[in-house]
Structure 1
Amino acid sequence: MRKENPYIPSPATIIEIVDEAPKVKTFTLKFKNKKLQEKFMFTPGQFVQVSIPGVGEAPISISSSPTQKDSFKLCVRAVGNVTNAFHRLNVGDVVWVRGPYGKGFPMDQFKGKNLVFIAGGIGLAPLRSAINMVMDLRNEYGDVKVLYGDRAPNFLLFTKERETWCKHCNVYMTVDTPDETWKGHVGVVTKLFDVVEITPTNTVAMMCGPPVMYRFVVKKLLDLGFPEDSIYLSLERRMKCGVGNCRHCMVGSKFVCLDGPVFTFKELKEIPEDETPEAWIP
């Protein structure tokens, strides 16, 4: 973790750009300061603040594994001024990065456990960091399942990486709207619970996706017998400063940028109902 002033960004060069899906690109970045890159440490689920001079700043989850030391990846969907400007950049261009921030997935605590990753849409991007870490340290974790749903086949992310994941774990995919080439499952991601055997014994569930997804996925997991503190959610909520000063991201008494963005369901359930976004809680 960096010890410098958390508000001060550092320049990072774009060294690779991959088109993943409509309006989604993965940018590989490297800090211009070699020592800073060597010291850059993060936990899957954490995020950075990326700024483009003259445009603004946006929080973006890190989507590469912390085992990758020489660079880091950000998967960016073009949805606003900053992210659209990001998409117009080229290899060799420079952005400014500060962080990492927040509380990620406690991967060390998960060693020896079975893992279930549940992703909806762009929610696969932050989970990709944890999945690739598990792939690199495969012998340290138990059975691994990835359940992933998206709008249509052409929106599915990380095609080549998913092929690698399939060699080391079980990957299940579904789409809302199939085309003539699609031979897989059809429907929302919770449909996969009907065809995938998931047992709560010694198992941790990690999910990221649109908030409306959480209500239904959490209910499925609770019905299967998962303890509330074995269900982890990464929350998508507007963050500004990244260090808990602006209060832009508060959920009840919790700051998403400090106490999260990763929470257990037990933590979220303890927030008073009138302070909790209804879509998150079943």
Structure 2
Amino acid sequence: MISMQAKKTKGEGSPYLPARAVVTNSRALTLRDTLLTIRTDRPLDYQPGQFLMAGLPGFGEAAISISSPPAKGRTIELCIRNAGSLTSRLCALEKGDTIWLRGPAGRGFEMPPKGEDLLFIIGGMGLVPARSLIKAVLNKKKAYGKMTILYGIKTSQDLLFSKEIEQWRTQGVEVFITADASDKDWHGHKGVVTTLIPPLRVERLKTSAYAIGPPAMYRYVVVPLAKKGIRQEKTFLSLERRMRCALGRCGHCLIGGVYVCRCGPVFSLAEVAEMPGAI
């Protein structure tokens, strides 16, 4: 049974009123993606996988996943992809500029049980919310077992957080990256990210899996993970692309009677099985 109540966090402001925040740094990650470091007006208590409604007066607001790990203080990171009138202006923000935020909203990822092996299957911009959980786990790396990241991108130009990925490898994380075969500039593995799953060896009873990416990816993740013996209760998906109001009012994210913006975006596969049309 899926709870219809969103997780309440200590740092959650009014769900209706945006709060002023200030950009302290802006860094281009790719030609389309910008990482904003933001100082909020209050500490935010959030889970990896939760999101904020970020906006500018006159241009509206959009649901943006928090990319930084939970930490004390008032600094967060948001990765913005330039995909429209609002996001183009968010990407153009500079140090000292104002951004308006609502949230955090929704339900994110719980921290995994101690000793668990962790498998991440990530497609494209899914690395943005995944990064929050990955860095939270790495802050307590000794508490967990083997950590594996499968990351799929369209082209070499879409690779996010490349320097951080190399740092994760030095911390003992296995990272496998694949790009669509159509990219002639990519010299690594070619193909969709799900082609990286079959060769993996996993300990099915002690592995938690996290799939974060575009909707079309999930249906091709479920079967190979089931063949690996990973339980539905230990497989987690993020349906973050479906948010619009973060209030459960507009109905844009409604799936099988469940408001994704309030009850998600993170669900176990067992919960998703009760939501017809979710994947």
1:83 alignment partner in structure 2: 87
Structure 1 position 133 matched with structure 2 position 136: yes
CA deviations on 1:189-230 (whole Å, 9 max, x unpaired) are 011124432332211001111111000011110111111111
Structure 1 position 120 matched with structure 2 position 123: yes
**C-alpha distance in 2, partners of 1:70/1:166?**
28
Compare relative contact order (CA 8 Å, sep 6+) and give the higher one, 1 or 2: 2
2:15 alignment partner in structure 1: 6
**Could you tell me whether the CA contact under 8 Å between 2:23 and 2:94 is conserved in 1?**
yes
**What code does the residue aligned with 1:65 have?**
P
Distance 1:84 1:113, change over 3 A: same
**C-alpha distance in 2, partners of 1:130/1:196?**
21
**Could you tell me whether the CA contact under 8 Å between 1:231 and 1:264 is conserved in 2?**
yes
How far off its partner does 1:112 sit?
Answer: 2.2
**Could you tell me whether the CA contact under 8 Å between 2:24 and 2:37 is conserved in 1?**
yes
**C-alpha distance in 2, partners of 1:174/1:68?**
35
1:63 alignment partner in structure 2: 67
**What code does the residue aligned with 2:78 have?**
L
Instruction: Structure 1: state its 5+ residue gaps.
Output: none
Structure 1 position 171 matched with structure 2 position 170: no
**What code does the residue aligned with 1:21 have?**
T
**C-alpha distance in 1, partners of 2:82/2:205?**
39
2:154 alignment partner in structure 1: 151
Moved over 4 A (4+): none
Calculate the TM-score normalised by the size of structure 2. Answer: 0.91
Calculate the TM-score normalised by the size of structure 1. Answer: 0.90
Q: Secondary structure at the match of 1:216?
A: helix
2:5 alignment partner in structure 1: none
* RMSD (CA atoms): 1.6
How far off its partner does 1:25 sit?
Answer: 1.1
**What code does the residue aligned with 1:49 have?**
M
Q: Secondary structure at the match of 1:118?
A: strand
How far off its partner does 1:104 sit?
Answer: 0.4
**Could you tell me whether the CA contact under 8 Å between 1:49 and 1:58 is conserved in 2?**
yes
How far off its partner does 1:68 sit?
Answer: 6.1
